[in-house]
A and B are shown apart, each in its own frame.
Chain A
Amino acid sequence: MNRVSNHFFDQLAGDLAPVRPIRRSRGIALVAVAAIVTIVLVALFGELQTHMIAGQATPMFFVTNGMLALLGAASSLAVVRMATPQVGSGHEGARWSAGMVALLPVTALIMLGATHFLAAIMEDSHGVPCLLASITAGLVTAIALVFWLRRGAPVSLTSAGTYAGVAAGAIGSFAYGLTCPIETIGHLGIWHVAPVLVGGIAGRLAIPPLVRW
Chain B
Amino acid sequence: MMAAAQNGDRAVYRVLLAEAQLWLERFFAKRVPPAQRDDLVQEVLLAVHNKRASWDPSRPFFPWLAAIARYRWVDHLRKVYRSAEDELGDHDAAQDSEEEVVMARMSLERLFVHLPEKQVEAIELVKIEGLSIAEASARTGQSESLVKVNIHRGLKKLSALVEKAD
The answer to whether A83 has its CB under 8 Å from any CB of chain B is: yes
Q: List 24 A-B contacts (CB under 8 A).
A: A3-B25, A3-B37, A3-B41, A8-B45, A9-B14, A12-B49, A15-B49, A17-B8, A18-B7, A19-B6, A19-B53, A21-B55, A23-B56, A82-B163, A84-B64, A85-B71, A85-B162, A85-B163, A87-B105, A153-B51, A156-B159, A156-B162, A156-B163, A158-B160
A152 to B6, CA, bound (A): 14
A50 to B37, CA, bound (A): 62
- CB contact under 8 A between A4 and B54, given known A14-B10, A156-B162: no
Are A18's CB and B8's CB within 8 A? yes
Are B45's CB and A24's CB within 8 A? no
The total of chain B residues at the interface (CB under 8 A) is 45
* Residues from chain B with Cβ under 8 Å of A156 in the complex: 159-160, 162-163
The answer to whether A202 has its CB under 8 Å from any CB of chain B is: no
In order of increasing CB-CB distance, the 8 nearest A-B pairs are A18-B8, A85-B67, A155-B71, A88-B165, A153-B51, A153-B54, A19-B53, A86-B63
Question: How many whole Å from A149's CB to the nearest CB in chain B?
Answer: 10
A83 to B10, CA, bound (A): 25
The answer to whether A103 has its CB under 8 Å from any CB of chain B is: no
The answer to whether A45 has its CB under 8 Å from any CB of chain B is: no
Per a CB cutoff under 8 Å, which of B5, B51, B66 touches A87?
Answer: B66
Are B17's CB and A87's CB within 8 A? no
* Residues from chain A with Cβ under 8 Å of B71 in the complex: 85, 155
* Among A9, A83, A88: residue with most chain B CB under 10 A: A88
Are B56's CB and A24's CB within 8 A? yes
Are B45's CB and A21's CB within 8 A? no
Give residues of chain A (80-119) contacting chain B, Cβ–Cβ below 8 Å.
82-90
Are A155's CB and B163's CB within 8 A? yes
Question: How many whole Å from B29's CB to the nearest CB in chain A?
Answer: 12
The answer to whether B52 has its CB under 8 Å from any CB of chain A is: yes
The answer to whether B46 has its CB under 8 Å from any CB of chain A is: yes
Per a CB cutoff under 8 Å, which of B8, B41, B59, B63 touches A4?
Answer: B41
* Residues from chain B with Cβ under 8 Å of A85 in the complex: 54, 64, 67-68, 71, 162-163
The answer to whether B18 has its CB under 8 Å from any CB of chain A is: yes
| CB closest chain-B residue, reference A212 | B75
Per a CB cutoff under 8 Å, which of A9, A86, A89, A153 touches B18?
Answer: A9
* Residues from chain B with Cβ under 8 Å of A213 in the complex: 47, 50-51
A169 to B108, CA, bound (A): 35
A23 to B56, CA, bound (A): 6
The answer to whether A51 has its CB under 8 Å from any CB of chain B is: no
A213 to B50, CA, bound (A): 10
A151 to B52, CA, bound (A): 11
The answer to whether A16 has its CB under 8 Å from any CB of chain B is: yes
The answer to whether B70 has its CB under 8 Å from any CB of chain A is: yes
* Residues from chain B with Cβ under 8 Å of A14 in the complex: 10
* Residues from chain A with Cβ under 8 Å of B49 in the complex: 12, 15-16
A85 to B50, CA, bound (A): 14
Are A88's CB and B53's CB within 8 A? no
A90 to B164, CA, bound (A): 7
* Residues from chain B with Cβ under 8 Å of A23 in the complex: 56
A78 to B8, CA, bound (A): 29
* Residues from chain A with Cβ under 8 Å of B67 in the complex: 85-87, 89, 155
The answer to whether A13 has its CB under 8 Å from any CB of chain B is: yes
* Residues from chain B with Cβ under 8 Å of A153 in the complex: 47, 51, 54, 68
| CB closest chain-B residue, reference A85 | B67
